């Protein structure tokens, strides 16, 4: 069994609501619920060395809150991950909001929690090829401001490293960017994914077309199934062999706690019930 989850955004309450309630995360305590979810999938899905957990980016949110606070507040969820790692493989695919975790992991020089951590993951599953990316790479091509992955990654890294650092974030970011050229781009990145991608430029539509296109191999390396997150909008398209994992309560009032399982080579959308 393979379990895939993305866009939990531990540490942030921006845009987070739960299905049918419209209440924000501080009322529902969804971050502690993720700890419970880790225990649940560890018990019900991830019991053998053949099983696998794929964390598909933006598990933590280092843009909205100081990274030290996020890690301290969610240490029990990390402990649950460590229990899963004793039995199964955990692959971490970095997202834009947890971009700096890759540097932390490399500095620690240990693989006793995550077996791999990179911008993409390629696996052969039941004879079929699967490529996993967070999906912000697709937004780089879909957005109308700048098509440079290096610029996007630079902003992601800076937002991760300056969140919670009093009085430094804005000045640091603007010193790296030309406001006349990049001002709209910078402001759009600090919006929630739903607001940014569904805004006046309708980047979500372009992004999904890119993800499902036959030419996606050029920029994703996907030669079979492509599984991504980032947009907070879950779906499975069998024809193009494309799947989106959705988000952890972050796509408006009718949003669930989404995750995906892959069994017998086929992705299936699931929702964790409170």
Per-residue H/E/C for the chain? CEEEECCCCECCCCCCECCCCCCEHHHHCHHHHHHHHHHHHHHHCCCCCCCEEEECCCCECCCCCCHHHHHHHCHHHHHHHHHHHCCCEEEEECCCCCCCHHHHHHHHCCCCCCCEEECEEEEEECCEEEEEECCHHHHHHHCCCCCCHHHHHHHHHHHHHHCCCCCCHHHHHHHHCCHHHHHHHHHHHCCCHHHHHCCCCCHHHHHHHHHHCCCCHHHHCCCCEEEECCCCCCEEECCCCEEECCCECCCCCCCCEEEEEEECCEEEEEECCC
Q: What burial letters (b/e) apply to 32-44, b meaning 16+ CB within 10 Å? A: ebbbebbbebbee
In this prediction, residue 24 has a pLDDT band, given cuts at 50, 70 and 90, of very low
Higher pLDDT, 250 or 44: 44
Q: What percent of the chain has pLDDT over 90?
A: 55
CATH of range 2-271; options 3.60.21.10, 2.30.40.10, 3.50.50.60, 3.30.450.20: 3.60.21.10
Q: What is the mean pLDDT of residues 196-221?
A: 83
Asked if the model's pLDDT at residue 16 lies above 70, the reply is no
Task: Please identify which residue in the block is written with the tokens 């507040």.
Answer: 73
Alpha-carbon span 53 to 25, nearest angstrom: 24
Q: What pLDDT is recorded for position 144?
A: 65
Listed in sequence order, the residues at least 6 apart from 200 whose beta carbon sits closer than 8 Å to its beta carbon are none
Torsion 76-28-250-193 (CA) sign: negative
Domain locations in the chain? 2-271
In this prediction, residue 18 has a pLDDT band, given cuts at 50, 70 and 90, of low
Which range, of 32-36, 83-87, 148-152, 252-256, averages the lowest pLDDT?
252-256
- Residue 152 tokens read as 């996007």
In this prediction, residue 140 has a pLDDT band, given cuts at 50, 70 and 90, of confident
195: number of Cβ within 10 Å: 11
* Mean pLDDT over the full length of the chain: 83
Q: What pLDDT is recorded for position 261?
A: 97
């Amino acid at each position: 069994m393979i379990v895939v989850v993305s866009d939990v955004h531990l540490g942030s309450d921006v845009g987070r609501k739960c299905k049918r309630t419209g209440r924000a995360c501080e009322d529902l305590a969804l971050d502690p619920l993720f700890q419970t979810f880790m225990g649940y999938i560890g018990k019900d899905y991830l019991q053998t060395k053949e099983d696998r957990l794929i964390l598909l980016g933006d598990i933590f949110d280092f843009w909205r809150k100081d990274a030290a606070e996020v890690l301290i507040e969610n240490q029990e969820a990390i402990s649950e991950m460590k229990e899963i790692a004793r039995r199964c493989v955990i692959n971490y695919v970095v997202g834009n909001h947890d971009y700096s975790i890759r540097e932390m992991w490399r500095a620690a020089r240990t693989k006793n929690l995550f077996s791999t951590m990179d911008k993409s993951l390629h696996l052969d599953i039941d004879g079929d090829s699967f490529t996993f990316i967070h999906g912000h790479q697709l937004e780089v091509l879909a957005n109308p401001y700048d098509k440079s992955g290096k610029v996007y990654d630079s902003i992601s890294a800076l937002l991760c490293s300056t969140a919670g650092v009093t009085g430094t974030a804005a000045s640091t970011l603007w010193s790296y960017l030309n406001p006349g050229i990049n001002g709209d781009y910078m402001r759009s990145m600090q919006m929630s994914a739903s607001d940014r991608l569904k805004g006046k430029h309708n980047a979500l539509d372009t992004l999904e077309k890119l993800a499902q296109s036959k030419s996606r191999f050029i920029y994703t390396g996907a030669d079979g199934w492509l599984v991504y997150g980032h947009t907070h909008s879950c779906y499975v398209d069998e024809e193009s062999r494309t799947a989106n994992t959705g988000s952890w309560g972050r796509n408006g009032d009718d949003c669930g706690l989404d995750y995906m399982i892959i069994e017998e080579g086929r992705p299936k959308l699931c929702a964790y019930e409170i």
